[in-house]
Amino acid sequence: MRAIHPYLDVSDCSDRLSGGVRLVPITTPVGEFRVWTKRVGRNPRCRVLLLHGGPGATHTYLEALDSYLPAAGIEYYHYDQLGSGWSDRPNDPSLWQLDRFVDEVEQVRNALGLTSDSFVLYGHSWGGILAIEYALRHGDALHGLVISNMMASVPAYNAYAAEVLKPSMDPTVVREIGALEAEQRWDEPRYMELLIEHHYVHHVLRLPYESWPWPVVQGFRDINPEIYVRMQGPSELGIAADATLAQWDRFEDLVRIDVPTLVIGATYDTMDPRHMASMAARLPRGSYLECPNGSHLALYDDQETYM
């Protein structure tokens, strides 16, 4: 039985829908499901598949690209990963594993007919982890790669959060956030109030919270917590020791990714910009772009540089 997004009845839909939307069937160890994709533009020389963050977020916040990529003549695909957004939402924790997501991306690539003469994979945040892992396993399918606002090592990110991000905050606030997390009181308004005032508007999106664009607000609202907590843990200030991504580290393996790769970081990011610059240096064909006014969502708060 498929778990269908409550706002989209696809029970009688064909595989191809209107407006460039396509529901792609994917096979998993627990059955077949469908994931939502949407093509924008036509350009056989440059075709980009977008991997959103989270894990468990949706494509929605990447709609900022809609204001720029069409004018550049780029063909690109929005895509909600399984369990997210408009895609099926099966209730099976065994599905929320990095290896299975990599296999899903490969099935989506094949279904969309993306080939190495033109296929560029873009990953933002968690999507950057997924993009790196995909490139290491299926590099022969790629024409190019974009890793946006993601470090190549979760232990290095945790160290950055502990040594740089947390010390920059009021210690009484850090203690209160930690206490709420320890008591699993993440749904309390106070928890989000603290994160928004002391972390989000400084390192996630450097705009007053009340003026955050709707696609970003919706993206946060629609995160699937079952995926997010299992893979990265409940905290916004580091990845939990028992999360499935806790020991993920591919920094040394970047030398094996032999396609042109752009790494994008930002000065005020939740991710260490120095680490991201070193990623580009380690990649055989890497380059680095830093957004000097940007944060984790530099595609919004430093658009001129990012785009």
Answer whether residue 87 is part of any domain. Answer: no
Picking from 131-135, 163-167, 182-186, 291-295, which range would have the lowest pLDDT averaged per residue?
182-186
At 49, the pLDDT band (50, 70, 90 cuts) reads very high
* Residue 3 scores a pLDDT above 50: no
Mean pLDDT computed over 39-63: 97
Percent of the chain with pLDDT over 90: 88
Half-sphere exposure of 149 (CA within 13 A, CB side): 27
- pLDDT at residue 301, as a whole number: 97
Answer whether residue 18 is part of any domain. Answer: no
SS3 45: coil
- pLDDT at residue 188, as a whole number: 87
| Dihedral of alpha carbons 225, 58, 86, 218, sign | positive
SS3 98: helix
Indicate the number of domains in the chain.
1
Answer whether residue 99 is part of any domain. Answer: no
- pLDDT at residue 10, as a whole number: 30
Summarised one tens digit per residue, pLDDT across range 168-184 is 999 999 999 989 988 88
Q: CATH number for the domain including 297?
A: 3.40.50.1820
Mean pLDDT computed over 280-304: 98
* Residue 9 scores a pLDDT above 50: no
Summarised one tens digit per residue, pLDDT across range 251-277 is 999 999 999 999 999 999 999 999 999
Answer whether residue 85 is part of any domain. Answer: no
Report in angstroms the alpha-carbon separations of 71 from 40, 45, 75, 234, 270.
11, 15, 10, 38, 30
Percent of the chain with pLDDT over 70: 94
Answer whether residue 80 is part of any domain. Answer: no
- Taking residue 45's Cβ as centre, other Cβ atoms within 10 Å add up to 10
Answer whether residue 55 is part of any domain. Answer: yes
The secondary structure element, H or E, covering residue 173 is helix 171-182
Summarised one tens digit per residue, pLDDT across range 15-38 is 334 579 999 999 999 999 999 999
Answer whether residue 32 is part of any domain. Answer: no
Summarised one tens digit per residue, pLDDT across range 93-106 is 999 999 999 999 99
Give the Cα separation of 32 and 115 in Å (integer): 24
Question: What's the DSSP call for residue 153?
Answer: B
- pLDDT at residue 6, as a whole number: 27
- pLDDT at residue 98, as a whole number: 98
Mean pLDDT computed over 144-167: 97
Summarised one tens digit per residue, pLDDT across range 189-209 is 999 899 999 999 999 999 999
| Dihedral of alpha carbons 100, 102, 103, 105, sign | positive
Domain containing residue 199: 40-69+111-307
Residue 270: phi, psi to the nearest 5? -70, -20
Output the pTM of the full model: 0.93
- pLDDT at residue 106, as a whole number: 98
Whole-number average pLDDT of the chain:
92
Answer whether residue 2 is part of any domain. Answer: no
For strands 75-79 and 31-40, give the pairing.
antiparallel
Give the Cα separation of 56 and 263 in Å (integer): 22
Give the Cα separation of 236 and 248 in Å (integer): 17
Q: What residues are labeled active site?
A: 125, 269, 296
